[in-house]
Structure 1
């Protein structure tokens, strides 16, 4: 009887260990806790509204992840978003930054259209052309109050 209990405890212990390892792997994968090296550079973008965008949101060009939103702050009456972009990605002064939503009620992410007609952006530069995301609550309230043309 004691032998069976020991076997059972070993099996349960192994399952718990595997579960903890899987949980750790998923939290690193989903939380994007990869060690950030020096292969990123930062630029900023000014938006009229950054509704729904959060620090850590992905930055994508043509659907490919090229960086992460580092921080969002208020500058005068606009949202200033700091972007950490991979060094291999060249952005230009005519880059357009847009806040997009994945699916209908999905997470917000930042889509970049890198341009190419202007000068290359240097670390610390600001993206001038931005498009704020669609605010569904705002649209619904305008519709409800009859302000839609």
Structure 2
């Protein structure tokens, strides 16, 4: 009788421990089990060099979302489309400017949103019209070395 009670107690503690580890893993890994509470926006760039899916999206220095995926524009105008997942409580104006920036000198790329003065907001599946592509350091150095700086 004592052995059965001890085994049941140990089993309950093991189950609770596994559930706690799973919860912590999901929270620390910033995973979403049911899709999360986000809306999607799309931004077109001439170049997304170095930007990866999962990169952060910032507004006023605060992370407000992530880059969901990056693909070529299916309309064939040689642009890259970045699909952004923005937290539902964050309102993005329709005249926002999306820029690809770098954290530090050789850090990761991320998208910085600069709000405009409009009072209209983008809705789910909206498109950001104004974008600034990443600065290509190699191209700048090459132009400087070969004397073609403008």
**Counterpart of 1:106 in 2: which secondary structure?**
coil
1:66 counterpart residue number: 64
1:122 counterpart residue number: 123
Counterpart contact for 1:91–1:115, Cα < 8 Å: no
1:17 counterpart residue number: none
CA distance in 1, matches of 2:37, 2:115: 18
CA distance in 1, matches of 2:130, 2:140: 23
Counterpart contact for 1:90–1:114, Cα < 8 Å: no
5+ unaligned residues in a row in structure 2: which ranges?
Answer: 1-20
**Counterpart of 2:140 in 1: which secondary structure?**
helix
Using structure 1 for the length normalisation, give the TM-score.
0.76
Aligned length: 125
Q: CA RMSD in A?
A: 2.0
1:54 counterpart residue number: 52
1:1-149 matches, within 5 Å, as 29=28, 31-35=29-33, 37-75=35-73, 76=76, 77-149=78-150
Using structure 2 for the length normalisation, give the TM-score.
0.75
Deviation at 1:141, TM superposition (A): 1.4
5+ unaligned residues in a row in structure 1: which ranges?
Answer: 1-20
Deviation at 1:46, TM superposition (A): 0.6
State the 4+ residue runs in structure 1 displaced beyond 6 angstroms: none
